[in-house]
Homo-oligomer: A and B are copies of this chain.
Amino acid sequence: MSTSQQAILVAVSTVIFALLPDRGGDVRVHLPLVRRTRDPFADQWALPGGWVRTSESLSGAGRRTLAETTGLRPSYLEQLYTFGRPDRSPGQRVVSVVYSALVRNHEAAAAVEGENVRWTSADDCTGLAFDHDEIVQYALWRLRTKVQHAHVAQHFLDEQFSLAQLREVHEAVLQRHLDPANFRRQVEGSGTVVETGERQTGGRHRPPKLYRAVVPEGSAGPLQSAGPLA
């Protein structure tokens, strides 16, 4: 077994997804990007992140660097994946532990757009620094393959939601129209939601029923299961 400890730097990055309207008004998956101020990739857009300090946990580093760069403080970050290809950062070996969160729009509002922060549609996200294009595509793929679990979609909604609200989340994530009757049948048959016994408030004659998500066993996190030290 090799005992040599070689110089590898450890960074964290965060992929924060919110459902926001694009310029045409269509609700789509967006994420905040931060403009780099230093080389490598000075002036290019990148995922929020930074170096891990020796005294902090990996998720703590994720929370700190996300707050420092964007102002975002999601209630929960889950570890998504660790990226460590030898050539992913020019001139130095950097391993990046990537954390992720799905946030509701009132939480997303903490990241105010400016010269060095912007929200971008995840599908239009290219030309980022390092391997961040690839990281975004991976996170988006995870979201799309897992959104059929209501406990994932629920991270974009309030605790209680109507089936129409749940369908709108699916439509925004998957970027396609879903037939309301089919969607209702599938969700009700899936066992992933239960009625709360309450109805949506509002002026309608027969307001829609409200539901909450059922979290399946072994699925702690929205994009994959959280680890024990998340």
Contacts and interface: CB of A to CB of B under 8 A. Distances in A.
Interface of A: 1-10, 37-38, 50-58, 65, 68-69, 79, 81-86, 93, 95, 97, 134, 137-138, 141-142, 144-146, 217-219, 224-225, 227-229
B2 A51 contact: yes
Nearest to A224: B224
Nearest to A11: B5
How many copies of the shown chain assemble into the complex? 2
A82 B58 contact: yes
Task: Please name the 10 residue pairs, one residue from A and one from B, whose CB atoms are nearest each other, closest first.
Answer: A145-B218, A58-B84, A81-B227, A8-B10, A82-B82, A54-B93, A6-B54, A1-B50, A138-B228, A224-B224
A142 B218 contact: yes
Given A57-B85, A58-B82, A85-B229, A50 B93 contact: no
Which of A55, A56, A137, A228 has the most B CB atoms < 10 Å from its CB? Answer: A228
Given A6-B53, A217-B145, A229-B83, A95 B97 contact: yes
A35 to B, nearest CB: 11
Nearest to A10: B8
Contact of A10 (B57, B95, B217, B229): B95
A8 B6 contact: no
Contacts of A55: 86
Contacts of A4: 51, 53
Nearest to A131: B229
18 contacts: A3-B38, A4-B53, A5-B9, A5-B51, A6-B51, A7-B54, A8-B52, A52-B95, A54-B86, A56-B86, A82-B82, A82-B97, A84-B97, A85-B229, A95-B97, A138-B227, A145-B225, A224-B225
A5 B95 CA distance: 12
Contacts of A2: 50-51, 53, 65, 68
A225 B142 contact: yes
Contacts of A9: 5, 8
Nearest to A53: B6
A228 B134 contact: yes
A229 B83 CA distance: 7
B54 A8 contact: yes
